[in-house]
Amino acid sequence: MSDKNAILEEVDPVIVPSRKMGIRYLIGMLLCVTILLLVAFPKIYIQNQIYYKSRDIAVLKREFNALKEENRVITSQVEAIRFKNQILDTLF
């Protein structure tokens, strides 16, 4: 009988683990989760802001390039009209 009790005492912690999750464990886990959130959220926020700003910059750059090309076309048209007017003025 004593052998049985000895075996049961050895196996009992494995089968029924002791409950060591008290208030200190809960506070520790809440503290760990809070620290994790304080570290993770600013990083995520900054990455999102960089993404949205880069999208805005890409849109503005595309519009800038389109306006630059349009300016080049209009400038060449103005030069053509100016040249045409100068030739017509000298003929008449």
CA torsion angle 64 67 68 73 (round to 10)? 170
pLDDT one-digit tens code per residue, 47-88: 999 999 999 999 999 999 999 999 999 999 999 999 888 887
Each residue's pLDDT tens digit, 25-48: 889 999 999 999 999 999 999 999
Instruction: Convert 9-46 into a string of H (helix), E (strand) and C (coil).
Output: HHHHHHHCCCCCCCHHHHHHHHHHHHHHHHHHHHHHHH
pLDDT tens, 45-58? Answer: 999 999 999 999 99
